[in-house]
Structure 1
Amino acid sequence: MRLSIDHRTTYRFTAPQGRIVQLLRMTPPNTHDQTVADWHISVDCDARLRQHRDGFGNLTTMLYAEGPLERIEIAVAGEVVTSHSDGILHGTFEPLPPALFLRATPATTADGALTDFARTIMGSRVPLAGLHAINDALCRRFARSTGRPEPGLTAAQAFAREAATPRDLAQMFVACARAVGVPARYVTGYCDLRDGGRATAHGWADAWVEGLGWVGFDPMLGLSPEEHHVRVAVALDAAGSSPVAGSRLGEGEEELDVEVTVSAQ
């Protein structure tokens, strides 16, 4: 499948900013299951862009812009060709051992309720079957929230609610997998499956299964990610793989607007 992606992030400031530094995790890698046919990042002001890889192996771009700036728009566009893989990753760059992804973060620490949920569903199942069961159970348990994810909301806090965003569901899956001793990580990317007619940047999870390697799980769908998904970055939690992170030098408040279009060609 050939997916066309347009992702625009606009910041507006109530006072001019003297300098902006941003870390962009917005470039998908080439793997055996996805090929980047075209990809570019543009900024609507004078800026320096520097390409790097972070400690998780993600492709990153550092953006440096000097002020005064009252707004800045970061536009990402391109096309990615994806293929069916039964959710199993092939040919990804993996600089870290799977065991590192047993490490909990404040956002993905399983409390008693999450731990009991994960262990009850896993039961005596083999890991792959148990992980699919957890993925399906999370999908069925929560109504889908279409709002912007609440900053700072943890997996344990989200589990106590009736509705969840894709980010919250993925962090809950990561917490559940680690609670039963399975390395798991958060994945940011894109998906062309729409909710209310609008595609958005998406989040799901990977879990390490002995004999198979990394396997993707999308608890928003209750399925493994396939050719409708484009993976971009991985980390221990959503904050560690967020598309944009950085700092600004200046007074005033900021307003953020994000528009994402994903379509199959």
Structure 2
Amino acid sequence: MRLTVRHKTKYRYETPLANAMQQLRLTPRNFAGQTVIEWSIDAPGISRATTYHDAFGNIVHMVSAHDVIEEVEITASGIVDTEDKAGIVGEERGDMPPPLVFTRLTPLTQPNQAIRRLGAIVQDHDDQIAGFHALMHAIRDKVDYRVGVTETHATATSALNAGEGVCQDHAHIFISAARSIGVPARYVSGYLLLEDEHASEAHHAWAEVHIEGLGWLAFDISNAICPTDHYIRLTTGLDSRSAAPIRGIRFGGTDENMNVEVEVEQTASQQQQ
């Protein structure tokens, strides 16, 4: 499937910015089932950006703005070909961190006894893949999808206790449960074309676990499926903080207001085939 993406983030401030530096993890990589045809980023300072790969293999553009401004707009857009691999990413080559890195606990993924009990669901299955499918459904049954009930940096334990949250919360709980039984798990941020719409506003998150002999396998807990060709994988990390598409620091500027718009469409050429 050929998908087009337009991801626009706009910041507005009551008082002008004196300076700002931002890490833009807004460029998807090629991997099994995903090929980037074209991609571009439009942002203040992008022409003089420093580009590198972070510790998790994400492509990063470091940009800085020195002008006194009250509004910052960042737009990433492009075309990506996707293939349904039933969630299988497999083993990744190149300068990627070893799976063991993703057993590390973070403040957002620290387990409690309730999360350890969820992890035990996997251990109750002879087939580990079936166990993770059971874990996915158990989390979805316990935590309703509801927007606006959890904070941006809510922890896995607080979301599970609340019994409701968004895709980020589902992913954190799943990752925490997997790591509690020693299985490498990582957070994924990306885009999703919804089944019932031609165009979708959907900046999405899911999780991947490393299965011995298979490699990385993805689970979208919020939709209770393994990602298909409707998904574009953008960043990976230990949790939502390390996989955040945009991170930065600023000097000056008060009362920040942020607005994010994401459009994902299937291209007409593919629809006609």
TM-score (structure 2 length as normaliser): 0.91
Change (3 A) 1:218 1:83: same
Letter of the structure 2 residue corresponding to residue 245 of structure 1: R
Letter of the structure 1 residue corresponding to residue 237 of structure 2: A
For the residue of structure 2 that corresponds to 1:171, the secondary structure is helix
Letter of the structure 1 residue corresponding to residue 257 of structure 2: E
CA–CA distance in 1 between the matches of 2:195 and 2:65? Answer: 34
Identity %: 35
Alignment correspondent of 1:241:
243
Change (3 A) 1:190 1:204: same
User: Among residues 217, 220, 223, which one is paired with 1:221 in the alignment?
Assistant: 223
What does 1:157-168 align with in structure 2 at a 5 Å threshold?
A: 157-168=158-169
For the residue of structure 1 that corresponds to 2:68, the secondary structure is strand
CA–CA distance in 2 between the matches of 1:2 and 1:115? Answer: 40
Alignment correspondent of 1:128:
129
Change (3 A) 1:121 1:210: closer
Alignment correspondent of 1:18:
18
For the residue of structure 1 that corresponds to 2:66, the secondary structure is strand
Alignment correspondent of 2:271:
none
CA contact 2:122–2:131 (8 Å) conserved in 1 = yes
Alignment correspondent of 1:38:
38
Q: CA RMSD in A?
A: 2.0
**Paired residue total:** 265
CA–CA distance in 2 between the matches of 1:15 and 1:179? Answer: 45
CA–CA distance in 2 between the matches of 1:180 and 1:7? Answer: 36
Unpaired segments of 5 or more residues in structure 2? Answer: 268-273
Change (3 A) 1:120 1:15: same
Residue-by-residue CA offset, 1:169-199 (whole Å, 9 max, x unaligned): 0111100111122110001111112799852
What does 1:78-227 align with in structure 2 at a 5 Å threshold?
A: 78-90=78-90, 92-93=92-93, 95-120=96-121, 122-147=123-148, 150-193=151-194, 198-227=200-229
Change (3 A) 1:31 1:149: farther
CA contact 2:32–2:90 (8 Å) conserved in 1 = yes
Change (3 A) 1:129 1:66: same
TM-score (structure 1 length as normaliser): 0.93
CA–CA distance in 2 between the matches of 1:155 and 1:51? Answer: 32
The answer to whether structure 1 residue 49 and structure 2 residue 64 are counterparts is no
Letter of the structure 2 residue corresponding to residue 200 of structure 1: A
CA–CA distance in 1 between the matches of 2:192 and 2:143? Answer: 20
Instruction: Tell me by how many angstroms 1:46 deviates.
Output: 7.9
